[in-house]
């Protein structure tokens, strides 16, 4: 399964605890959900587009079966929310934002 972020917009200046952004989640090339974060901490808000509930649930299951995300001295079980963060950070690194 291929999960991508497209139509990414962000505002580093307004970001506090997390990155303020919005994007569309594409699953296997199909626009499936909108995701955003207000940048004040907490999880991302993911809302599926009409008729995309099953596709979004399949993407969540796919992410739950990924290896944990490893950090300096701990790891976190992967889920779609965390995977979106990883995709966003990769995008920002590739575009030299952070």
The predicted-structure confidence for 9-46, as pLDDT tens digits, reads as follows 999 888 889 999 999 999 999 999 999 999 999 999 99
At residue 98, the pLDDT reads: 54
Of residues 96 and 65, more confidently modeled: 65
Q: Which sign does the torsion angle of CA 90, 94, 97, 98 carry?
A: positive
User: What pTM does this model have?
Assistant: 0.91
What pLDDT was estimated at residue 72?
A: 86
In angstroms, the CA 5 to CA 84 distance is: 8
pLDDT of residue 14: 87
DSSP 3-state of 68: coil
d(CA 36, CA 46): 7
pLDDT in tens, 62-79: 999 999 998 889 999 999
SS3 72: coil
Q: For residue 13, what pLDDT is reported?
A: 85
Supply the pLDDT for residue 97: 61
What is the pLDDT at residue 71? 86
């Amino acid at each position: 399964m291929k999960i991508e972020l497209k139509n990414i917009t962000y505002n580093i200046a307004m970001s506090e605890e997390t990155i303020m952004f919005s994007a569309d989640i594409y699953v296997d090339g199909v626009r499936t959900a909108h995701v955003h974060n207000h940048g004040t901490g907490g999880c991302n808000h993911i809302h599926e587009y009409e008729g995309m509930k099953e596709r979004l649930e399949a993407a969540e299951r796919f992410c739950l079966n990924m290896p944990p995300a490893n950090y300096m001295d701990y790891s976190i079980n992967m889920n779609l929310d965390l995977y979106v963060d990883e995709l966003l950070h990769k995008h920002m690194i590739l575009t030299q934002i952070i």
